[in-house]
Structure 1
Amino acid sequence: MSESAVPGRYFDGRTAAGHDVEAVFSADGVSIRGQGHEIFWPAKRLRIAARDEHEIRLSNVREGEARLVIPARAAGVIGAAMPELLSGAPERRRMTALVIALIAAAAAVAGGVFFGAPAASGPLAERTPKELEIQMGENVAGQINLILKPCGADADLAPLSAAISAMAKTGGAGFPIRFQIVDTPIPNAFALPGGQVMTTRGLIEATSEDPEAFFAVMAHELGHVRARDSLKAIYRNAGAGVVLDIVTGGSGAAQQAVIIAGQLNQLRHTRKQEAAADEAAYEILLASGLDPAALARAFDLILGALPDDGRDEDMPAWASSHPDTAERIKKAKARAAPGGTPPITGDDWKRISSACSAE
């Protein structure tokens, strides 16, 4: 490896496979070499897709979901070659321009309705560029991870992530899925904007003996991803300032407000979205060769895992926001169809079931 190169992993965005490469940075861009790849990404097309204390994920605006992942310790090399990239200034300017354009679209769509009103949330979501929604989802996920820490080794979670991504493709989710488990005992799962899907250690444990029930919950969340429900919730519950804060990754209370705002707003929207996500789950499960009635078993397992004295308070939003959970269970059972084998081996599921407890 040359002195100016840094080690990295290249993902082409078409498969889940990562490739060991070396990345050579210059003022003009980055050369990516290794395992049959010889690629050059110009500096003007580079973006910071995500960054934490361990790694930096770079993207190319012309390369879709392709990513170059390098160690965080290599920040000095990038900074020496392209100081503006690490400062985030180009990204902030680009995202601010997108938000301004989005606010203009909101005015056209909503007329006299103020930005963020429920009536405008659907049309606004439809007009939002997917690239912007993905960025919003990454920033919201980063804020959640300050409170709910991810757990499970990447190698252990890879088969599950691949299986969920395959379901998403089958179900036409429309976004690349970024999956993670967060370490909390409450059985829950939620979809964030742009294909971010989180599940809790509690849900993994509750469904440890029934992986098909777990995949039923994932199918429900993929229904939310496909409908862009989380983005609609942000527009419904937030003003332009909060949206800009989320897009640019700003700190403060804005993102936390968005996370809890859904339960404080008009419940009829949430009920409608949850019912539609149930229907999407049946469709995705059937298309994936799984039994739609597994969603009913998931409800039962989650209810059984909650404390006897805290069911109303601790019930996951996707299960509690509907006025009649029993009716949802009944509908799911009525959709029963011969199921196949869950898209993950027993050994992989066993490792995943204990992934968080092993840490």
Structure 2
Amino acid sequence: MSAPRLAGDWFDGRSARPRPVDVWLDGTTLHYGEHDVPLAQVTWPERQRHGQRQVLLPGGGVLGFADATAFDAWALASGRGDSVVVRWQQSWRLAALSLVLLVAGLAAGYRWALPWAADRAVDAMPLSAERRVSEHLLGQLDGDWLHPSLLAPAQQQAWRERWQRMLAQARATGGPMQPERFNLHFRAGSKLLGPNAFALPGGDIVITDELLKLLEDEPDAALTVLAHELGHVQHRHGLRMLLRAGAVGVVTSVVLGDFSSLLAAAPALLATSAYSRDNERQADAYGRALARAGGVDTSRMAVFFQRISEKHAAVGERSLAIAISSHPADAERVRFFSEP
């Protein structure tokens, strides 16, 4: 049985004038007129719904077929059926399945692969590099989100001494391990930031004048908040969050071609400390253990949550919530800090 033939136009790559030829396949060889070429050297066209078919030949030649339907039928009869990819593209059901699988893959990557990769990067990053990140971020925050503290030097020293006494007692009584390096910074917060406390990668802990004023008659609550922030430092939550958000931001920036939003968002992200629930619970457990080992009454956190709630209810949306009050639910955390 002779191979099926199809009429086409041959462009030799040197002249724009087409030459009519008969085209057929013989095993692994493509014949056109008096010429032939191994199929391995030919670029075969994918089947599409519209448009002519073109077979690309070595050396710049082209075989053109105006009747796409006739070409598809000839190719099928000659044993050149559609590839799996082409059949997939031609089916709306398979295309929809591809979209579902893509979305599921991206979601799985965001949920599991991204945190895993960020955690491995954190484990590999030396503390000296993390400290440089912290210094850079603190410099960005100062002036935009933070301003020099208005607390008198004597007030700042009194808070530092309370803090150091608690830490020293916790070490003496076998409290949880404390980070190798951390510093306490006093700052006045902007109107948007308000009463707040947060930890930066590398051990810089910032507490605002507004929060200390809110808790000036509740030093145990303020110390427990600081112990909670030290928990974020100990477990390197800030760096993990920054790397995870940065990975998503890099992908978005590559797609959009704009890295400015990624760089601008980093300080705000850390200032509002949008930690995961697991990170918050881990910092809560560390903070409660450290504060209690340091002789602090952690049940006074009930006052903290109440006052923060009232403060933000009064100002509405004009200020950012302090992260420690955001999640898990306040009632759950009040019980946690109050239970024996």
Q: TM-score range, shorter-chain basis? A: 0.5 to 0.7
Q: Secondary structure at the match of 1:293?
A: helix
- Structure 2 residue 299 is the aligned partner of structure 1 residue 293: yes
User: How far apart, CA to CA, are the structure 2 residues paired with 1:173 and 1:198?
Assistant: 17
User: How far apart, CA to CA, are the structure 1 residues paired with 2:201 and 2:164?
Assistant: 16
Q: What's 1:270 paired with?
A: 276
The partner residue of 1:138 within 102, 113, 135 is 135
Q: Secondary structure at the match of 1:181?
A: strand
- Is 117-126 or 148-157 further displaced after alignment? 148-157
Q: How does 1:223-242 map to 2 (within 5 A)?
A: 223-239=231-247
User: How far apart, CA to CA, are the structure 1 residues paired with 2:164 and 2:265?
Assistant: 29
User: How far apart, CA to CA, are the structure 2 residues paired with 1:240 and 1:162?
Assistant: 41
> What is the Cα deviation at residue 209 of structure 1?
1.0
Q: Is the 8 A contact 2:195 2:209 kept in 1?
A: yes
> What is the Cα deviation at residue 311 of structure 1?
6.7
The partner residue of 1:219 within 209, 223, 227 is 227
- Structure 2 residue 204 is the aligned partner of structure 1 residue 205: no
144 and 278 in structure 1: CA distance in 2 versus 1, 3 angstrom threshold: same
Q: What's 2:316 paired with?
A: 310
Using the size of structure 2 for normalisation, the TM-score is: 0.54
User: How far apart, CA to CA, are the structure 2 residues paired with 1:188 and 1:263?
Assistant: 8
User: How far apart, CA to CA, are the structure 2 residues paired with 1:255 and 1:158?
Assistant: 34
Q: What's 2:39 paired with?
A: none
> What is the Cα deviation at residue 193 of structure 1?
0.7
Q: Is the 8 A contact 1:117 1:237 kept in 2?
A: no
Q: Give 5+ residue unaligned stretches, structure 1.
A: 1-112, 243-250, 336-359
> What is the Cα deviation at residue 123 of structure 1?
2.4
How many residue pairs match? The answer is 212
Q: How does 1:1-359 map to 2 (within 5 A)?
A: 117-147=114-144, 148-151=146-149, 152=151, 154=153, 156-165=155-164, 167=166, 170=171, 171-184=176-189, 186-239=194-247, 254-261=262-269, 270-308=276-314, 310=316, 314-322=320-328, 324-335=329-340
Q: Secondary structure at the match of 2:298?
A: coil
Q: Secondary structure at the match of 2:199?
A: strand
User: How far apart, CA to CA, are the structure 2 residues paired with 1:158 and 1:194?
Assistant: 23
Q: Give 5+ residue unaligned stretches, structure 2.
A: 1-108, 251-258
Q: Which amino acid aligns with 1:228?
A: R
Q: Deviations over 1:270-311 (max 9, x none)?
A: 111111111111100111011221223221232233343517
Using the size of structure 1 for normalisation, the TM-score is: 0.52
User: How far apart, CA to CA, are the structure 2 residues paired with 1:168 and 1:252?
Assistant: 40
Q: Deviations over 1:154-196 (max 9, x none)?
A: 5642342354355456342313222122212622100001110
Structure 1 segments of 4+ aligned residues over 6 angstroms from their partners: 262-265
Q: Which amino acid aligns with 2:293?
A: A
User: How far apart, CA to CA, are the structure 1 residues paired with 2:161 and 2:120?
Assistant: 31
Q: What's 2:99 paired with?
A: none
CA RMSD in angstroms comes to 3.3
User: How far apart, CA to CA, are the structure 2 residues paired with 1:127 and 1:263?
Assistant: 24
Q: What's 2:73 paired with?
A: none
User: How far apart, CA to CA, are the structure 1 residues paired with 2:167 and 2:249?
Assistant: 32
305 and 133 in structure 1: CA distance in 2 versus 1, 3 angstrom threshold: same
Percent pairwise identity? 26
